[in-house]
Structure 1
Amino acid sequence: MTATLSHTTMSRALAAAELRQHIEELTAAIAEAERTSRTTRMLDLTFQLNEAQRKLNSFVDPMAQLPLEIQSHIFLYVLHSKDELGHVSIPRANSRLPPISFLSVSCLWRDIALSSPNLWRELELELPSKDSNYFDLCGLFLSRARNLSLSLTLRGPLDLEPGALDLVVQHSHQLENLTLNQEAKRRELTLALERPRPRSLTFRLERGTQLPCLKTLVLQPSAATEFGTVEELLDVFRAAPALSTFTLDNTWFDLLSASVSGPFTHASVHTLSLGSPLYHDEELRTLTTPTMVLYLTLPALKNLSVHILNLTYYDVVAFLSRSSPPLESLHMSIPVVWRPIPDLADFLRHVPTLKTLHLCTRRTYRDVDCCVELLRSSDFLPNLRAIELDADIQVPVDYERVARMLTLRGTGSSVRLESFELRFLASSNLGLPLPAHVKSTLQQLVQDGMKIYIGPPQENML
């Protein structure tokens, strides 16, 4: 085997030496043709020179010795590298960044890049564009993906340029994921209390435009945005029958001009996220999203995240009643207007298939004790595997009741509870240690395999 490898290496070295000599001869011949103004001869020799250089690169470049599939995988790995915060990069139409920068390294790298449509499936548009040819370049970028599905992220000022939406329409038949005005990678933890002046985010589909492949739609502006009418957003749902994930955060609608005949039924959406858990302070009520649950019926919904302060208890119950979804995950901020909760048991009975329950509670409510009391029965939400309660309350928690519920759910249920987290905000329940006998009971449950966290974000009291 060693002898065979040595022979192959020697043969490649001899071939590379011959190519270098041939390149020197062609270079001299080109110089002579240029001196004597023999243009046709010079062009022919230049072509031969490029071919000889390409062959030489294939001998001296280690990449050239790998199969195309592996070469493409290496490029994809570089393309989706992570920064120091762990965020995966998204390709941009920039000559200094991959995959466009691959084209200028060598003929071999250019061939690899252009033969790998997966490199061109994702594109982040930097707005506003500073180059008049920017959207032409973006269009060329996406065309190299051939017939593969596409993911577009439009990041920048809220007053989007027409060329950006033209690009969306142009590739609407291939779009699988679309994000408009995504927030900065590290979302701010605070938001100005005063309502900023709304800026228009115009996303109106031309009549007849279809989004047959669209699966994920994210409308997540960096500041409060006026979208338009609810009917215009529902037109997007109608044009995207395959839509499975929809996120809408921090957006106003022109509700006065909305003329919605009734809730629209979408049979494919399984994940719906409305509002942000960061923006559920009572002072920020005017900055939240008017609820889309009034206008949608989602019979396939499995994951629901709702953080909207002006949402009423009856709105949610009506939505769950008419949708009858096989809901498995619920992440919800209990709105300030639910004062007190009319009937938490009745509310949760609309989601009997629930596996994960995450509630954010506020002020002086006894939501924690109420929830714990309900869950003491192993017949109530029998499939529940994980509970997470974020509490900002000034009343003591009945830890003994918590321990009894967890013991019942951990040992007396056919489907055991796997995780329980009770997190207090910095202003609540500090200085209230767990009683020793309760702590011992909970520690035993942890040893038996249950994940338990009780305390402020920086300290588990167990």
Structure 2
Amino acid sequence: MPRIDARVQESLRARIEEISSKIDLQKELLRKLERDKSVAQRQLNSVVDPMARLPLEISSEIFLQYLDLFSTAEERGARQLLLNICNTWTTIALSSPGLWSTIAIQFPGHPRGLPIVLPTWFERAANRPVSLFLYGDLSILNHPVSTIIWEHCGQLKDLEIVTDSSYHIDKADPIIINLFDDIDLSDDEDDEDMIPGLMPLLRTLKISSLIHERRFQIYEILHLLRRAPNLAECTFHHRYRFGNPGIAPGTLVLPSLRRLRFGATTLDISVNTRILDFLALPALQSLILPLQAECSQSLVSFLERSMPPLQELVLGMRENHLAYHFMREYLLLIPTLSRFDLWWPSQQSFLADFFAALVDSDSDPGSPSLLPNLRSLTIRTDFGRSPWLNFPRSSRFDIAESSWRTLLRAVSARRTKLHALRVFANPPPADVLAAFKELAEDGTVRVCIGVDESEFCAFGESRSQAM
């Protein structure tokens, strides 16, 4: 009996091995069929799917146009969708470096795998210049993430750093945003191994802190600027004050910077402009900033130090005690100015002095010429939306009749050069308005007068795009 059991067991084992072998064979056959099906499906897709029949350059451009439908914050999800449609679309997306040339990271909502994802993203961008946007509570910007960013800093074309989260903060103890993880910035600036390294591709930089409890170190910002020799455009929106300057930075010359803006709105006088004290910008063409009496002399010093070929100046002046002589000092330093946009305080004597100076500089050959190349002049006010002002709304847009007549004389004297005049105010007396209209109809200058653009009295055709 035991011998019979042994034979049965041996027979069953052999049978199981035979069946297992057949199963493995069938599995391999199934895998082959699956592969053949996949190949056939791809071949069918290449015949049926119009995207697959297009050259890669065209399909990539279509994908890029698709991304334009989304905001910067939404682009990440849109790219992920392109990867998940089919193998053909995945291949196109991964073969299109332009799709990966914008990186937007929201803190604290970034994924935990960001230290792994970021290098992959830069790798997919290949050698393309990259635009990097960092938003949110940047106080939690951790070491691995910042290290990866600065390791690839030579690839950056645009860099935007915006901190706008203020929760869980003791307001008596503001948090300093540290961009470089306690790196010693006192070392030799010419050291190629410094972090960040040189950023020869960087063209635009925006650094913004919208709340008092988040501050950047001014010397870190200057260090960042020093590593970007070809920077062309810069925006600073830092309310209240920067962190302790720390290292005395001296004067930093940026030979390529052409456009500099402070603040999101020209009238936000809480925006800190102190960084001007440390800069010389000999190529600057456009400057937009809110002006306070206390920084007027700093602006004069900056212009004397830079001697820029400034063409556009936009000033926000909300303090009534600002006198015209403050402004005259720096206007005389920028004779190249062709566009002047002034948000004026509600002090009538200020405008009267300014308009009179425009007349006098043309009539007195012995005095320095004020704005000899002016082509576009805009006088505007934002006080219509200022609830803390007590005088009636209609009077917030009034300009004294004598000032209107002085402005008319100034425009008449400059009619061969001035292309555009815009005044955001209630219209002048009828005879003055008629005189402006006559000037415009002579084809010398386009004139727009009104409380806002929807209510403009517009005369004449524009001779330039300065409007």
**What SS does structure 2 have at the residue aligned with 1:325?**
coil
1:230–1:260 contact (8 Å) kept in structure 2: no
User: Equivalents in 2 of 1:115, 1:461: separation in Å?
Assistant: 54
Q: What percent of counterpart residues are identical?
A: 25
Gaps in structure 1 of 5+ consecutive residues: 1-32, 83-88, 185-194, 425-431
- Alpha-carbon RMSD across the aligned residues, in angstroms, is 3.0
Report Cα offsets for 1:312-343 as digits up to 9, x if no partner: 22111111011111111111123638632335
User: Equivalents in 2 of 1:198, 1:308: separation in Å?
Assistant: 25
2:317–2:345 contact (8 Å) kept in structure 1: yes
User: Equivalents in 2 of 1:180, 1:224: separation in Å?
Assistant: 16
1:368–1:389 contact (8 Å) kept in structure 2: no
1:112 maps to which of 92, 106, 123: 92
Matched positions, count: 396
- Corresponding residue for 2:317? 334
1:260–1:295 contact (8 Å) kept in structure 2: no
User: Equivalents in 1 of 2:158, 2:172: separation in Å?
Assistant: 29
1:399 maps to which of 391, 404, 414: 404
Question: Which sits farther off after the overlay, 239-248 or 334-343?
Answer: 334-343
2:45 maps to which of 57, 66, 77: 57
User: Equivalents in 1 of 2:406, 2:324: separation in Å?
Assistant: 20
User: Equivalents in 2 of 1:68, 1:381: separation in Å?
Assistant: 53
2:249–2:278 contact (8 Å) kept in structure 1: no
Residue 77 of structure 2 corresponds to residue 101 of structure 1: no
2:372 maps to which of 382, 385, 389: 382
The residue type equivalent to 1:78 in the other structure is Y
**What SS does structure 2 have at the residue aligned with 1:118?**
helix
* Aligned pairs (5 A) from 1:312-461: 312-334=295-317, 336=319, 339-376=322-359, 377=361, 380-391=370-381, 392=383, 396-397=400-401, 398-410=403-415, 413=416, 416-424=417-425, 433-447=427-441, 448=443, 450-457=445-452, 458-461=454-457
1:179–1:217 contact (8 Å) kept in structure 2: yes
Residue 140 of structure 2 corresponds to residue 139 of structure 1: no
2:405–2:432 contact (8 Å) kept in structure 1: yes
Structure 1 residue 438, shift from structure 2 partner: 1.7
Structure 2 vs 1, CA of residues 251 and 339 (structure 1 numbering), >3 Å: closer, same or farther? closer
The residue type equivalent to 1:157 in the other structure is D
**What SS does structure 2 have at the residue aligned with 1:277?**
coil
**What SS does structure 1 have at the residue aligned with 2:342?**
strand
Structure 2 vs 1, CA of residues 222 and 40 (structure 1 numbering), >3 Å: closer, same or farther? farther
User: Equivalents in 2 of 1:238, 1:300: separation in Å?
Assistant: 16
- Corresponding residue for 1:190? none
User: Equivalents in 2 of 1:34, 1:171: separation in Å?
Assistant: 54
Structure 2 vs 1, CA of residues 355 and 196 (structure 1 numbering), >3 Å: closer, same or farther? farther
* Aligned pairs (5 A) from 1:22-171: 38-81=26-69, 89-90=71-72, 94=76, 97-129=77-109, 131-162=111-142, 163-171=144-152
Structure 1 residue 309, shift from structure 2 partner: 3.0
User: Equivalents in 2 of 1:337, 1:399: separation in Å?
Assistant: 20
Report Cα offsets for 1:193-247 as digits up to 9, x if no partner: xx99744322237460212321111012332354343222211111111112111
Structure 2 vs 1, CA of residues 171 and 301 (structure 1 numbering), >3 Å: closer, same or farther? same
Structure 2 vs 1, CA of residues 311 and 176 (structure 1 numbering), >3 Å: closer, same or farther? farther
Structure 1 residue 350, shift from structure 2 partner: 0.5
Report Cα offsets for 1:69-90 as digits up to 9, x if no partner: 22111111110126xxxxxx22
User: Equivalents in 2 of 1:65, 1:166: separation in Å?
Assistant: 41
2:163–2:214 contact (8 Å) kept in structure 1: no
1:334–1:361 contact (8 Å) kept in structure 2: yes
Structure 1 residue 34, shift from structure 2 partner: 10
1:93–1:125 contact (8 Å) kept in structure 2: no
1:203 maps to which of 170, 179, 186: 179
**What SS does structure 2 have at the residue aligned with 1:159?**
helix
User: Equivalents in 1 of 2:163, 2:249: separation in Å?
Assistant: 31
- Corresponding residue for 2:393? none
Q: Which has more radius of gyration? A: 2
Question: Which sits farther off after the overlay, 109-118 or 383-392?
Answer: 383-392
- Corresponding residue for 1:181? 162
Question: Which sits farther off after the overlay, 50-59 or 207-216?
Answer: 207-216
User: Equivalents in 1 of 2:263, 2:274: separation in Å?
Assistant: 9
